[in-house]
Chain A
Amino acid sequence: MADVNAFITEESIEGTDDGPLAGTTVAVKDNISTAGVETTCGSRMLEGYVPPYDATVVTRLADAGATIVGKANMDEFGMGTTTETSHFGPTRNPVDPDRVPGGSSGGSAAAVAAGEADVALGTDTGGSVRCPAAFCGVVGIKPTYGLVSRYGLIAYANSLEQIGPIAGSVEEAAALLDVIAGPDPHDATTREAGADANYAAAADGDVDGMTVGVVPELFEGAHEGVVETVEAALDDLEAKGAETVEVSLPSVEHAVQAYYVIATSEASSNLARFDGVRYGHSAGHDGNWNETFAETRSEGFGEEVKRRILLGTYALSAGYHEKYYAKAQDAREWVRSDFDDAFADVDVIASPTMPVLPFELGEGIDDPMTMYLADANTTPVNLANLPAISVPAGTAEGLPVGLQLIGPTFGEETIVRAASAVEE
């Protein structure tokens, strides 16, 4: 296979000899810190940056015996749906090299789909594990917020993002989640719940008696072939004994707007640290602090990152806070409340992962609204801090289609079980 540009840095980091991931190769997204190995976030701003410490998930991979084979390409600072905003060039989709792998964890998904790593770690702020999993025909899990430590993850939007596994099968993805899940004294947002679960063992395909909620709002406007493929997968689940019922989530109409207001606001704050003094690209020391700072950031950040920093600064600025940020927080609570109500009646909620088939390279990169709207089905999950999995449902026009299964808080075993029935 031609080079899909899955990695920014190829480097072998050996784990200990034994452990549950001994002999397993892992691609790690390049916004996850690896001690002594360059970590760029796909940005010129961090080109050459060598973290002095490991992220907790990297320590856990090493302790489990895994071998890290490289730092996977990504949209710059996790901002994108196609992996085209990387400073190090786009990743190509191994299924069709003229198409994008999805983003922002496109390198991680492509590495698995191309056989360049057994499994991979991505990060999911608004769908960035599930989207590339769907586009590349592999499995991706976005864990419940607080299940996996974010220590050592270079932050984009702290209240939304989680590190999640990508793999060729549900069981492999679940086994990787088993290794990285659990509380961490370095991350006060991690929780005890879920630490004793056995996610890999839940991949038993037994959905007899399970109730699957289907959300009409998340099928509206989706590509016809995507809808047909997802509906066929749901028919298969029914044939295996699951019951499907319609559930309405009216709040999801506002989820994308709320997501982009909150995410860009948090990004504008998080990325303020990149001033070229302690780490990262520096434009030198001519001029005063503000001039140098602005020049450093102009040179270091790409267009999408600047767009989001400015949108976030706008949304938080005097006179607009109530109009955008406060309303987005209300929408977030509404989304949570809607999901809570739905999970009183159903075990999991199903939808297409992406409403579209993989874009062609260059197709939408100059149209930010189109790109943002592609996240309509994944962002509600991050707003509600819930777990979700994308599992291959089949193909349309020869391209992969992902089925998204959303679970209640710490309901990872249930979504793993349901997803494992889909792939049989």
Chain B
Amino acid sequence: MSDSPDERSDAAAEAAATTADTDEAGETADATDVDVEDVDHVASLARVDLEESEREAFPEQFAEILGYFETLDEVPEFDREAELVNVMRPDEVREGLTQSEALRNAAETEDGYFRGPRVS
């Protein structure tokens, strides 16, 4: 896609012109298929166990929400904003939290370290 503002707004206008069609597509898109196995899989990726009530409610809710997200298919490609700059500062040693401050909110500590569960 070109950087030219004219062409970009043309693309936008085209997409806008198709919005009437996409509204309908958006409503039928809730046919997006999400079953409890999909939800369980994503929950395991996110490391969140679900309550049984959540496992029951989420598939239908996700189908509806993800179906609505699919109306994004009608959005034209756009170039990213080009004005981004890195903001750097000298790497100087500064005062930070003390060890006891950093450990203060931990459930378990040992010899000045955080204590966590077994890794495997």
Seen from chain A, the residues whose Cβ lies within 8 Å of a Cβ on chain B are 48-50, 52-53, 185, 188-189, 250-251, 253-254, 257-258, 260-261, 268, 272, 275-280, 282, 285-295, 297-298, 301, 303, 306-307, 309-311, 313-315, 317, 323-324, 327-331, 333-334, 336-338, 341, 368-369, 372
Contacts and interface: CB of A to CB of B under 8 A. Distances in A.
A275 B119 CA distance: 13
A285 B108 contact: yes
Contacts of B77: 330
Nearest to B120: A288
Contact of A330 (B44, B76, B117): B76
Interface majority SS (helix, strand, loop, mixed), chain A: helix
B42 to A, nearest CB: 5
A337 B78 CA distance: 9
Nearest to A327: B72
B65 A331 contact: no
B105 interface: yes
- Tell me which of B44, B46, B62 has the highest count of chain A C-beta atoms within 10 A of its own C-beta: B46
B73 interface: yes
A286 B72 CA distance: 43
Contact of A257 (B46, B68, B87): B68
Given A257-B69, A298-B48, A289 B54 contact: no
A341 B10 CA distance: 13
B117 A292 contact: yes
Nearest to B11: A334
Contacts of B36: none
Contacts of A253: 16, 19, 71
Given A285-B108, A294-B48, A294-B49, A330 B61 contact: no
Interface string B84-96: 0001010000000
B59 to A, nearest CB: 11
B116 A52 contact: no
B36 to A, nearest CB: 12
A290 B47 contact: yes
A310 B72 contact: no
Nearest to B39: A310
Contacts of B117: 277, 285-289, 291-293
Contact of A277 (B19, B51, B76, B107): B107
Contacts of B12: 250-251, 334, 337-338
B14 to A, nearest CB: 10
Contacts of A338: 12
A216 B85 CA distance: 35
A279 B49 contact: no
A329 B72 CA distance: 10
A280 B64 CA distance: 32
Contact of A313 (B19, B45, B68, B73): B45
Contacts of B69: 257, 260-261, 315, 324, 328
Contacts of B46: 268, 297, 309-310, 313
Contacts of B13: 250
A368 B115 CA distance: 38
